[in-house]
Amino acid sequence: MREGASVFATSCQGCHATTPAAAARRHRDDISAYRFTVGQIESFARVMPVHPPVRGRRLRAVAAYVAALQRSAAKGP
């Protein structure tokens, strides 16, 4: 999960937040509100406008990280 969190921090958090509160503060899309499979997340991440593109091991790591965040958010506090 550490690598996925790192990839998210460097490539994704400019546009996406991981909690509703962070999304509201920063006017970003709250990805924890969705329920996607790892494969779906990988597909979306492949086409995100980031430089350099997220590919290979980094893509799988960030997809697993986001999927875990979504599962955790679905369980609630």
Find all residues with CB under 8 Å of 59, minimum gap 6, and list them: 42, 45, 46
What average pLDDT does the structure give for the chain? Answer: 93
Per-residue confidence (pLDDT) for residue 35, from 0 to 100: 94
What confidence category does residue 77 fall into, taking pLDDT thresholds of 50, 70 and 90? Answer: low
Lowest mean pLDDT among 5-9, 29-33, 63-67, 72-76: 72-76
Domain-wise residue ranges, the chain: 2-75
pLDDT (tens digit per residue) in 22-49: 888 888 889 999 999 999 999 999 999 9
- Report the candidate in 34, 73, 28 with the shortest Cα–Cα distance to residue 44: 34
